[in-house]
């Protein structure tokens, strides 16, 4: 039987994921919970981690590699930022050790872009990038990482040269819940990247991004005047916001630019459809696999595994 | 002493304003309250109006002219829409009479743009436009009416040819309260159109509207990395959203385009500054005066006053 070698943790704002990894790199056990930074800051990071380690019977002495918001100022131990341009291979050595812990627990740093015109920060996605690096030809490319705060990252020779955060997921949530559009979508059913209303909204907003907050209103007026369905109204709002993001992220890029899409599940499928509608040719990398792979690269760099 | 001639009411979603107008057109009394459509739909439109009529001692038999959301489907009596292109002078005759009322009460209709590519509706602002028409040279121009839902209206020979709603005010509210940016602005003080952070954000977003949801995030990363103040962060968010609106509304317009700004108070000053930063030359019309003036035009057209 494979012996456990280390514990890998992706500790986000609202989610916690832990894997027990064997000496051959295989996943021996997995845990997922809602004990993200927000919860853990109240109940204690050490106790949340200890509970999940016990649940998978991980030996107490096993080293632990952590990425994400556990390293934020409001997190467990602040892990700071590497300033871009930053070689992804420099990330593991910049990990911060949790003091007075039972075993060797290291939290990986984020990335900071201090350009006064476009200040930006990443925390967690740098580890996905480290894991997705093999998927980039010659360590070069443009990477799209959709989510609550989507990240678009330019990588050259294995180093992050610049990146941009788009608040797409959070805007979708705030607009759908806290504006007049909430009435138009309250009976909406599920939709996906095949939705014509979604794809049309993506292309409309890419063609005319300045009209974004007007296009959003047409999700309401389309219901009032043309019987647009609640599901199509919701797909339209999503398409407008994702289209706005793609318009900004691909501004200045070649038509048919190659984009590596690091994503999973329904959101990944939605972005794949939107990028195709935008004329980009996405290569897909699974986000869950990427973060595990990035944590593995860091663990191997830090410890003799 | 001037005799009372009619009652004028601007009945919005969340606000109610009533003026008692004399036979010489002067304002004899005024009432303002929060009993907009939302409240009145619960307690009764007739009783809200009766209370304010009594408070200004308006004779029961006086006619009443009403504009705004009282004419919406969820309002008092549905007053429908005139389809664009629509002559502003045609609005009074399309008013709907409230049945079984003590006096002659008429509610003015809204405007609808049924273009399937850009469906849109206006309710209330059409009356401001009717009142502001004298300020437009030869009845032609582009009118900006900022607010929760800003309206940009193209007028030709006294007729509305097309218009666009931008959700700027509501987006500002939802983003400032219900996203991660709320933390960055919670200690913000007041700001105005003189704010350099505001004006810079306006021009940045006009130059690159596709970056809007990335620029919004810089209000947070600017605080994290460069000590941006909460007040400047809030001014920046406002400038990005107003800049996005102006970028969309002036798309295709001549540089230095003349814009008639129908607005009042602090919001009017903010838009005046933003339009100047965008290189437009705004002419200001007071929104309060415009709606009273529009209601007066309608009252004179309907009744022998």
What's the average model confidence in pLDDT over A11-18?
94
In chain A, how long is the greatest CA-to-CA distance? 66
Give the pLDDT band of residue A273 (cuts 50, 70, 90). Answer: very high
Give pLDDT tens digits for B55-112: 999 999 999 999 999 999 989 999 999 999 999 999 999 999 999 998 999 999 999 9
Contact A4, A64 (CB under 8 A): no
**Residues of B whose CB is below 8 A from A172:** none
Alpha carbon distance A158, A120 (integer Å): 19
Q: What is the pLDDT of residue A24?
A: 94
Distance of CA A25 to CAs A101, A296, B110, B234, Å?
A: 24, 8, 66, 47
Question: Among B266, B268, B257, which residue's Cα sits nearest to residue B290?
Answer: B268
Contact A39, A63 (CB under 8 A): no
Give pLDDT tens digits for A16-74: 999 999 999 999 999 999 999 999 999 999 999 999 999 999 999 999 999 999 999 98
Nearest-Cα distance to chain A for B113, in Å, is: 9
Q: 3-state DSSP call for residue B118? A: coil
Q: What is the pLDDT of residue A28?
A: 97
Question: Among A47, A68, A50, which residue's Cα sits nearest to residue A58?
Answer: A50
Q: 3-state DSSP call for residue A28? A: strand
Nearest-Cα distance to chain A for B115, in Å, is: 9
Residue A93 has pLDDT above 80, yes or no: yes
Give pLDDT tens digits for B186-206: 999 999 999 999 999 999 999
| Residue A80 backbone dihedrals phi, psi, to 5 degrees | 60, -165
Alpha carbon distance A102, A150 (integer Å): 35
**Chain A, window 160-189: residues with a beta carbon less than 8 angstroms from a chain B beta carbon:** 164-168, 170-171, 173-175, 177-181
Choose the weakest-confidence range: A14-23, A227-236, A254-263, B147-156. Answer: A254-263
Contacts of A74 by beta carbon, 8 Å cutoff, 6+ apart: A37, A41
Q: How many CA atoms lie within 13 A of B156 on its CB side?
A: 6
The closest CB to that of B209, out of A113, A177, A210, belongs to: A210
Residue A257 has pLDDT above 80, yes or no: no
Domains of chain B with CATH codes: 4-123 (3.30.420.300), 166-286 (3.30.420.310)
The closest CB to that of A217, out of B120, B213, B222, belongs to: B120
Residue A265 has pLDDT above 90, yes or no: yes
């Amino acid at each position: 039987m494979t012996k456990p070698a280390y514990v890998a943790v992706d500790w986000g704002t609202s989610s916690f994921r832990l894997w027990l990894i064997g000496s051959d790199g295989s996943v021996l056990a997995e845990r997922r919970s809602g004990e993200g930074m927000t919860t853990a800051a109240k109940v204690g990071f050490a106790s949340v981690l200890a509970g999940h380690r016990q649940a998978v019977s991980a030996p107490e002495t096993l080293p632990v590699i952590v990425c994400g918001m556990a390293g934020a100022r409001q997190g467990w131990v602040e892990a700071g930022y590497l300033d871009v341009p930053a070689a992804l291979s420099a990330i593991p050595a910049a990990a911060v050790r949790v003091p007075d812990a039972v075993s060797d627990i290291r939290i990986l740093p984020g990335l900071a872009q201090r350009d006064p015109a476009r200040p930006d920060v990443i925390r967690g996605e740098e580890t996905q990038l480290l894991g997705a690096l093999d998927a980039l030809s010659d360590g070069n490319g443009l990477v799209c990482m959709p989510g609550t705060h989507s990240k678009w990252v330019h990588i050259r020779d294995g180093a992050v040269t610049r990146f941009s955060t788009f608040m797409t997921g959070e805007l979708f949530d705030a607009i759908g819940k806290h504006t007049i559009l909430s009435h138009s979508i309250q009976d909406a059913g599920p939709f996906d990247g095949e939705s014509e209303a979604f794809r049309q909204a993506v292309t409309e907003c890419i063609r005319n991004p300045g009209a974004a907050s007007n296009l959003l209103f047409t999700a309401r007026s389309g219901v009032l005047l043309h019987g647009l369905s609640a599901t199509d109204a919701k797909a339209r709002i999503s398409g407008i916001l994702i289209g706005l993001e793609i318009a900004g992220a691909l501004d200045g890029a070649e038509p048919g630019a190659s984009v590596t899409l690091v994503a999973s599940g329904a959101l990944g499928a939605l972005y794949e459809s939107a990028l195709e509608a935008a004329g980009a040719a996405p290569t897909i990398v699974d986000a869950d696999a990427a973060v595990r792979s990035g944590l593995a690269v860091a663990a191997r760099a830090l410890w003799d595994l």
